[in-house]
Copies of this chain bind each other. A is one copy, B any other.
Amino acid sequence: MRFVIQRDYLLQSVQDVMKAVTSRTTIPILTGIKIVATEDGVTLTGSDSDISIESFIPRVEDDKEIVEIKQTGAIVLQAKFFSEIVRKLPTSTVEIDVENHLQTVIRSGKSEFNLNGLDAEEYPHLPQISEENAFRIPTDLLKALIRQTVFAVSTSETRPILTGVNWKVENSELICIATDSHRLALRKARLETEADGKHNVVIPGKSLTELSKILDDTAAMVDIVVTENQVLFKTKHLLFFSRLLEGNYPDTARLIPNERKTDVVVNTKEFLHAIDRASLLAREGKNNVVKFSTIDGNSIEISSNTPEIGKVVEEIQTQSVEGEELKISFSAKYMMDALKALEGSEIQISFTGAMRPFVIRPLNDEAILQLILPVRTY
C-alpha cells in the first residue's frame, strides 16, 4: 500500500473515526485504525465493537486530486500515535507507505515516521447491512432529535434498556423517547420520504451522543437503515454503525397525563435562571430539590432551604396561571435539563396535582414534551 494524501482530509477522517476508538478494549487490534487504499480512494475505520465508524476519502473531489494512489493495499496503525502524528505533520501532503510487510513509513517534508503496523486481515468485519427499510432525515433535525432526548436516558445499568433511546417509526412519523424513570423526554418528527417500514428499536444513548459529535450542522440528508440488531447512519462519506439494545422498551404512553389542573405559561430563560439560582444552595444537600408555588394567579415562587448554609427565594412574573393553586417540589437538575432541551421563548407547564408527573412544552408546539416526576416534600 502506498499513497500521497492531502493532510487536512486525512486529519478530518482520522478525527471522525477516532470517536469510535477506545483504549479500553479487550480486542487489541481495535486500538488501531484500519486504512484501506483502493483505486477509488482511501477508507479509514475505527471501532469499539459497539460503535463502528467508516470514513471514505475519494481520490478526486470537485475536480481536485485529494489522494494519489500509488499501490493499493491495507494496514492497521495504532490510533493514538497515528492521530497525533497526522495532527502535527509539517506539510500539507503526506505519504503513507507500507514498505516491508507491516512496517509503515509516514513522510511529510523532512519528517519521517516509521510505525509498526498490524495486519488488516485480522481487523473485525463491519456488519453487512442491506439497504431495504431505509428512511432519511436532514442532519440538523437528526442532531436536534438527539439533543432533545438523549440527556434523559438512565446512567445506571440496573435496567440496561433505559440507557438507550427508543426510536419508533410508524405512519411516516419518527418518535424518540428517553426516560430514566424519574423524567422523560419525547420528540416527534414527520418523515418527508414515504417510509412504509415500521420500526421499534432502542439505540444506546452513548452511540447517539458520539454520532451527534461527528455530524455537521447542515441540511444534507442522513440515510438511516435499521436491522434486527444494528442501525446504520449514512452520510456522503461516512458510515456510522451502532448495535441496538436487546429487550422491550417500557410502554411510556400511560405515564403522560391527559388531564391538567394547573397551567402555567412563563418565559423560558427567566424561569431557567431562577431555577439555577435557587438550586445553588440546594446542591449541597445532594438532593437538589427546589419548591415551586403559584402566588395570586399571576406569579410563581421558586425557593430552597438548606439550614446549614441558607435559603433562596425567587419570584417570577408569569404570562398566565390557570386552574388550581399549587405547591410542588422537583429536582432542579431535571428541570434545567428539560428547559435547555426545549426550543421557544415561552413554555407551558401543565400540572395535575402535587404528587403527579407534570409536563413541560414549548407554547403551541406538540412535537416535543418533557415530563418530570415530583419529589414529595410538601
* Chain A positions near chain B (C-beta within 8 angstroms): 78, 81, 84-85, 88-90, 110-116, 273-274, 276-277, 280-281, 284, 308-316
Given A110-B314, A110-B316, do A116 and B308 touch, yes or no (CB 8 Å)? Answer: yes
Q: Is the CB of A81 within 8 A of B309?
A: yes
Given A81-B281, A85-B280, do A114 and B273 touch, yes or no (CB 8 Å)? Answer: no
Partner of A113, one of B81, B110, B115, B310: B310
Cα distance A112–B315 in the bound complex, in angstroms = 9
Taking CB atoms, residues of chain B closer than 8 Å to A280 are 81, 84-85, 88
Give 3 nearest A-B pairs by CB, closest first.
Answer: A115-B310, A110-B315, A114-B311
Given A90-B273, A280-B88, do A78 and B309 touch, yes or no (CB 8 Å)? Answer: yes
Given A314-B110, A315-B110, A316-B110, do A309 and B115 touch, yes or no (CB 8 Å)? Answer: yes
Q: Is the CB of B308 within 8 A of A114?
A: no
Q: Is the CB of B310 within 8 A of A114?
A: yes
Partner of A309, one of B112, B116, B308: B116
Cα distance A281–B314 in the bound complex, in angstroms = 56
Cα distance A85–B88 in the bound complex, in angstroms = 43
Q: Is the CB of B111 within 8 A of A274?
A: yes
Partner of A312, one of B113, B281, B309, B312: B113
Taking CB atoms, residues of chain B closer than 8 Å to A112 are 312-314
Enumerate 7 A-B pairs (CB-CB under 8 Å) in ascending A order.
A88-B273, A88-B280, A111-B277, A114-B310, A114-B312, A115-B310, A116-B308
Q: Which residue of B lies closest to A276 (CB)?
A: B88
Minimal beta-carbon separation of A112 from chain B (angstroms): 5
Partner of A310, one of B116, B273, B312, B313: B116
Cα distance A315–B109 in the bound complex, in angstroms = 9
Taking CB atoms, residues of chain B closer than 8 Å to A85 are 277, 280
Cα distance A112–B78 in the bound complex, in angstroms = 56
Q: Which residue of B lies closest to A103 (CB)?
A: B310
Cα distance A310–B105 in the bound complex, in angstroms = 10
Which of A90, A110, A276, A314 gathers the greatest number of chain B CB atoms within 10 Å?
A: A110
Taking CB atoms, residues of chain B closer than 8 Å to A312 are 111-114
Cα distance A314–B316 in the bound complex, in angstroms = 64
Cα distance A311–B115 in the bound complex, in angstroms = 7
- A81-B280, A112-B312, A115-B309 given; 7 more Cβ-contact pairs under 8 Å: A81-B309, A88-B273, A88-B276, A88-B277, A110-B316, A111-B274, A112-B314
